[in-house]
Amino acid sequence: MKENEDLLDKGPFFHGTKAALQIGDLLEPQNQSNYQDKKSNHIYFTASLDAAKWGAELATAHFKERIYIVEPLGKFEDDPNLTNKRFPGNPTRSYRSTSPLKIVAELGSWQRHTEEEINHMLSSLKALREQGKDVISD
């Protein structure tokens, strides 16, 4: 990934999901969102292991949680759903791209958030959904 080397984060980059993928597979936009019943125009990723853990834990599928180490294959930008909206700047180091991400490895093990933390986050997301505030700018 050369295009963003002097613009944004240098990584490493992670993608948290419940999809079973292989090294070398491409994650691409225009696939079903992990969080809403719609296709996503972007593919989302992070340079924060904590944010990747949330991605895996909150994905709506009922499969094993996974975190992949990914390589962006094109330009990417700060994720506007988090940057300056929920968190000033980009402390979660969250990004999105309309170009694919290549899976280069799977993180073998990682410590999940506690069930209490996950349930609190799920409750907060449910409240946002009920208020019509769970909009993802895609």
Q: What is the DSSP letter of 23?
A: T
Long-range contacts at 85-88 (CB < 8 A, ≥ 24 apart): none
Domain that holds residue 110: 13-130
In this structure, is residue 5 part of a structural domain? no
In this structure, is residue 85 part of a structural domain? yes
Helix (H, G, I), strand (E, B) or coil at 82: coil
In this structure, is residue 84 part of a structural domain? yes
Q: Please tell me the total count of domains within the chain.
A: 1
Q: If you average pLDDT over every residue of the chain, what do you get?
A: 82
Q: Among residues 31, 41, 45, which one has the least CA distance to residue 103?
A: 45
CATH code for position 85 = 3.20.170.40
CA pair distance 106, 116, nearest whole angstrom: 26
What is the separation of C-alpha 94 from the centre of its chain, rounded to a whole number of angstroms?
Answer: 7
Is beta strand 13-17 parallel, antiparallel or unpaired with respect to 66-72?
antiparallel
φ/ψ of 110, rounded to 5, equals -160, 155
In this structure, is residue 45 part of a structural domain? yes
For 17-56, the pLDDT digits (tens) are 988 999 999 998 876 655 556 577 889 999 999 999 998 9
CB atoms within 10 A of CB 118: 15
- Whether residue 11 is predicted with pLDDT greater than 70 in this model: the reply is yes
Q: Does this model's pTM top 0.85?
A: no
* Mean pLDDT on 81-110: 85
In this structure, is residue 78 part of a structural domain? yes
In this structure, is residue 137 part of a structural domain? no
